[in-house]
Structure 1
């Protein structure tokens, strides 16, 4: 009985609520307060009624008037409408509900606006009910477009209800004060190993110090932070070579954090590229008319080899508002639209390609979005992109979720969001993916005779649930001079050994010597580090398809060409227990041949080495035959015999302990020694 009485009283209260007007009759005892409130409303209306409306500028004036009179239906509606067009959209609902309570006919759009407020607060069924009552405003010419919009939003609510019922297991944590400020911070891009983050901020102290007259906020600048332990260090601006007095925003970053894609407002919105030279970023250069057009190019991502670009544009001929395209940066062909599997009749935005080279993340207003832009994932398989998969709740929300990036390990993602624990405005957040839920621990007790003092108890521990990781290996470290230990801006070539093809080239940082190379699983890679005036250094990574994520730190010391210097040829391969060179050795042999051709006086000893497994005499003979095979190959390519000698040392010159598998592998090697120059 009590709950029915309470419901009746609430309904009666709602029925009796009336809008209180800003009039002398209502506020005869506070004329000064009324005058100030009316002035605030007038100032707000000037922005609200602007074409286009300036909601963010209007809102503070309306909120000031609200302090004087919170019971006016029209003012509550305007505040709610302003919040719907702000970064704090969920706050709109309370004001819209109050406006409707005070006057159900306050505005012809009220059911639509209530639907939006409920939708943005994840109240899926209530929002759907309001959308179904919404009607187009008087004078609306495109009623078909309005109906289509309503149907789409109802579908989004249904998507949201389903996705929220199956939340994914993640932690979402504020990235901290090193990155975030009381001003808007967004657009994070990261190096593959999460050691560096760059982002866009509209904070005080921007280059030029001016504010955008349209938004009222500071102009955008680009900032960089370096990881310090588990936290991000204090961010610093990139300087006036990159940041201008206008808007400069992050778009994409190469896996090694040496190349940065920058958005500028030229020509309607273009993409530029800046390169890291030592500790300074170069002045951004235009990417050219094959990528930039008179339309709006808003976001982009490098492929892992750095040779191609995925980018977003609303240029004519697309499938929707904005589409995702792919193009070879240094090629001549046109950009290729990724097609209907990815692009929809609505907008796509914020494209990012994982360092594995086959997993793409992007935002879309289409597919099964739960509202605005949602973040999706698609995988390149058998020559085509898979159907996009919504990343799910709570990463995606009813509001726009855009510009998501993820580490090479696949463990951490980054994006910007408005949340209650923010530092004052939009902040950058780190998402930690926890993987599938671990099954509960089962406890089984035997049902034995009651006369037993204690039952026999068996505890079955649930097996650990591994977190899915990306199929990519990160190779990183520093390149230095072997003698002086000074960093070198060496070139790192990535070779597909099976095809003897150079598939990517990178440079170590000129100041630090640091390098980072992303190696997607599925190939036998040769890594060649070279610098003019030094002998080349090679490494080998045979990564079968499906190989799990790993990070390898390899500091490389390049040696100058001096008598007595030894270099291991890590990309020379033989058939098992034979001295037959495999075809994957071709690239390494050609590099050795080139070295001899460029240095006519150079003389080398080619040597073979084994581990200590097996008969020592046999190992020595096998190692000698393998060294001779290399010499024979070089002679067939025109190198004279008097410049080459060969030797087999078997297991007599180990470079690592033979007590481990890794050590024995290092000892099984072919190398050369400079005997004359």
Structure 2
């Protein structure tokens, strides 16, 4: 109640027809000789940053003269410098109770102290009081307007807490030492995190077991060095690790970005990311986009807006990253932004800032990419995820349901710092857009041997640029993340093989709990025809207007792939096969299937394929490959294929 009366009294002193009678106080010039001498000594101690000795001297002055206002102000400043905010608040309140005219700036400075004490409503009241008094004619006015906005937003965040129930990731990961900065593969089955057990930062890894628990963390051999490494980001398939190395012999600045690869189950092949990614400045905290096209990171390089900014590099067609671009003033401020985490959806950015309005120190914010590719206004992720203490990196699972962060809450008093990795259910509004992933293994259709180095290409429907392109690893596998909201075409190919295609329709609702898992058989380009003929290849991305033989424009990309295959292998002679489901009249289906096959035949001829190498045939509903009693089965039966029917001369 007394505090409320005090704040109301400050407001009332600035309203028309009101006044607040100043209480008596004593300035330094009016102190007795002994107190003046002590004041000079205290000021000298402050200049030497001997704050404890300065406070002791000021205590002596105030014991002699409790109304020594300059001594109270200086002692409050010292407590604020030492982060003893409750004592700083006590002294500033005592000063303002004596006089608010002596040094009016103390009104908003008291608000800053209260902000640090999480008394956001009171902080806002003092900032408003100062602005009312200053009336726009003060050099601090713009600064205090910003303080007021911060306090009001912080108060609003505290009044409206978000769901937050963190739990430890368990003893397999967390120890009495320091574990922090988790990074996951897209499928959530592989975890790499940073530890500091010996005074040196190293990587540990863990794998998710069948029972949902994590295996015991183990040192990541092949990446760990005698230097410090940390702040890492893993590629979606868990085979590429970008990380920060500080003070390495080949670094350009204090910290640079490096990367390592996992091949045949082993990590190694460490590489310096080199210019233009690295500079002579602080370059750290990488976040690699799921499709590998962008690398986000934190840097203090020139050209930014503040201390540390978030930048990104785009990968070119040659596989190299181009020059860094700043994310701009919507994300970056005159302060510090850091710890970017770009979710696998490619459109949701989580980052930490000490300047965007929040609860104090570093808070975590969310920004979502707009339709024009720019970033939307950052939103504070909310209390109690954010607190008055500093929050760092937040990592979000592929499905958007789980978030991971580091906390020191298990540190025991008088014991060394204990950092642990915790997880919690991320509330709905802070989740990224839904997505899934497709993982597969490419095999030789005749021998079942895995095919390393096959090209897997995914294109979003209606787009002319490739969404993602990867090559299969040494075990023939690949993994690509697919955000919802679009339909995607997949093609897998390898020199010496016919190609494979697939289609993923995610423009509508879909179950993101169930990723696509494919086994892709690639048929070798035949040197001679087998006795039973060659297996037809379904062209899953060749589509027609409903009930018509008119090709949809989205079919052209796959048909052009077939054109290129025929131009590369001149001995191949093929037949286009058309099929329908069993809905409707048998005769009509036969006619439609043949007309559709002929449409593809005509397209190939227009693209320069000789007619004598081509033929077409409609099979109507006579050769189903699935049951016709479900929509899914009928969809599979409505298909267009090509089949190698003879081999000519090269």
SS in 2 for 1:381: coil
How far apart are 1:74 and its partner, in Å? Answer: 7.2
Equivalent position to 1:580, from 550, 570, 577: 550
- Range 302-311 or range 340-349, more displaced: 302-311
Q: Does 1:236 align with 2:218?
A: yes
Q: Does 1:167 align with 2:161?
A: yes
- Range 493-502 or range 654-663, more displaced: 493-502
- Listed as ranges, the gaps of 5+ residues in structure 2 are 1-47, 56-72, 90-112, 127-137
Given that residues 442 and 522 in structure 2 are in contact (C-alpha distance below 8 angstroms), is that contact kept between their aligned partners in structure 1? no
Given that residues 459 and 490 in structure 2 are in contact (C-alpha distance below 8 angstroms), is that contact kept between their aligned partners in structure 1? yes
State the alpha-carbon separation in 2 of the partners of residues 386 and 317 from structure 1. Answer: 21
State the alpha-carbon separation in 2 of the partners of residues 670 and 120 from structure 1. Answer: 71
Alignment of 1:395-406 (within 5 A): 395-406=385-396
Structure 1 residues 322, 183: CA separation in 2 closer, same or farther (over 3 Å shift)? same
Equivalent position to 2:497, from 521, 530, 534: 534
TM (norm. structure 2) is: 0.73
Alignment of 1:552-571 (within 5 A): 552-561=515-524, 562=526, 563=529, 564-571=534-541
Equivalent residue for 2:423?
A: 430
State the alpha-carbon separation in 2 of the partners of residues 389 and 223 from structure 1. Answer: 32
Q: Does 1:362 align with 2:351?
A: yes
Equivalent residue for 1:303?
A: 289
The C-alpha deviation readout for 1:142-200, integer Å capped at 9, x for no partner, is xx999999998887665444312211123311112232222211111122232222111
Equivalent residue for 1:496?
A: 460
Q: Does 1:273 align with 2:259?
A: yes
The C-alpha deviation readout for 1:590-613, integer Å capped at 9, x for no partner, is 111111222222222221111111
Equivalent position to 2:639, from 653, 657, 669: 669
State the alpha-carbon separation in 1 of the partners of residues 240 and 495 from structure 2. Answer: 23
State the alpha-carbon separation in 2 of the partners of residues 171 and 279 from structure 1. Answer: 36
Given that residues 443 and 519 in structure 2 are in contact (C-alpha distance below 8 angstroms), is that contact kept between their aligned partners in structure 1? yes
Equivalent residue for 1:109?
A: 78
State the alpha-carbon separation in 1 of the partners of residues 521 and 334 from structure 2. Answer: 54
Equivalent position to 1:508, from 453, 468, 472: 472
Given that residues 345 and 432 in structure 2 are in contact (C-alpha distance below 8 angstroms), is that contact kept between their aligned partners in structure 1? no
Alignment of 1:127-142 (within 5 A): none
Equivalent residue for 2:37?
A: none
Structure 1 residues 277, 409: CA separation in 2 closer, same or farther (over 3 Å shift)? same
Structure 1 residues 541, 418: CA separation in 2 closer, same or farther (over 3 Å shift)? same
Equivalent position to 1:183, from 177, 187, 196: 177
Given that residues 326 and 336 in structure 1 are in contact (C-alpha distance below 8 angstroms), is that contact kept between their aligned partners in structure 2? yes
Structure 1 residues 128, 109: CA separation in 2 closer, same or farther (over 3 Å shift)? farther
- Listed as ranges, the gaps of 5+ residues in structure 1 are 1-50, 54-72, 78-103, 133-143, 204-210, 212-216, 437-466
Given that residues 122 and 160 in structure 1 are in contact (C-alpha distance below 8 angstroms), is that contact kept between their aligned partners in structure 2? no
Structure 1 residues 147, 297: CA separation in 2 closer, same or farther (over 3 Å shift)? farther
State the alpha-carbon separation in 1 of the partners of residues 342 and 641 from structure 2. Answer: 38
How far apart are 1:421 and its partner, in Å? Answer: 8.8
Equivalent residue for 2:324?
A: 335
The C-alpha deviation readout for 1:308-358, integer Å capped at 9, x for no partner, is 222211112311110112222336863222221111111111111122221
Equivalent residue for 1:409?
A: 399
Q: How many residue pairs end up in the alignment? A: 528
The C-alpha deviation readout for 1:269-309, integer Å capped at 9, x for no partner, is 11112233231233222222212111101112223331222
Equivalent residue for 1:290?
A: 276
How far apart are 1:575 and its partner, in Å? Answer: 1.3
State the alpha-carbon separation in 1 of the partners of residues 120 and 156 from structure 2. Answer: 15
How far apart are 1:128 and its partner, in Å? Answer: 6.9
Structure 1 residues 340, 578: CA separation in 2 closer, same or farther (over 3 Å shift)? same
State the alpha-carbon separation in 1 of the partners of residues 644 and 411 from structure 2. Answer: 63
Q: Does 1:389 align with 2:389?
A: no
State the alpha-carbon separation in 2 of the partners of residues 419 and 150 from structure 1. Answer: 33
Equivalent residue for 2:58?
A: none
SS in 2 for 1:415: strand
SS in 1 for 2:593: helix
Equivalent residue for 1:199?
A: 193
SS in 1 for 2:351: strand
State the alpha-carbon separation in 1 of the partners of residues 601 and 579 from structure 2. Answer: 15
State the alpha-carbon separation in 1 of the partners of residues 583 and 435 from structure 2. Answer: 32
Structure 1 residues 546, 284: CA separation in 2 closer, same or farther (over 3 Å shift)? farther
State the alpha-carbon separation in 2 of the partners of residues 406 and 238 from structure 1. Answer: 22
How far apart are 1:509 and its partner, in Å? Answer: 3.0
SS in 1 for 2:119: helix
Equivalent residue for 1:344?
A: 333
State the alpha-carbon separation in 1 of the partners of residues 205 and 499 from structure 2. Answer: 33
State the alpha-carbon separation in 1 of the partners of residues 576 and 449 from structure 2. Answer: 29
TM (norm. structure 1) is: 0.70
Structure 1 residues 263, 128: CA separation in 2 closer, same or farther (over 3 Å shift)? farther
Given that residues 181 and 424 in structure 1 are in contact (C-alpha distance below 8 angstroms), is that contact kept between their aligned partners in structure 2? no
Equivalent position to 1:643, from 613, 619, 633: 613
State the alpha-carbon separation in 2 of the partners of residues 641 and 508 from structure 1. Answer: 35
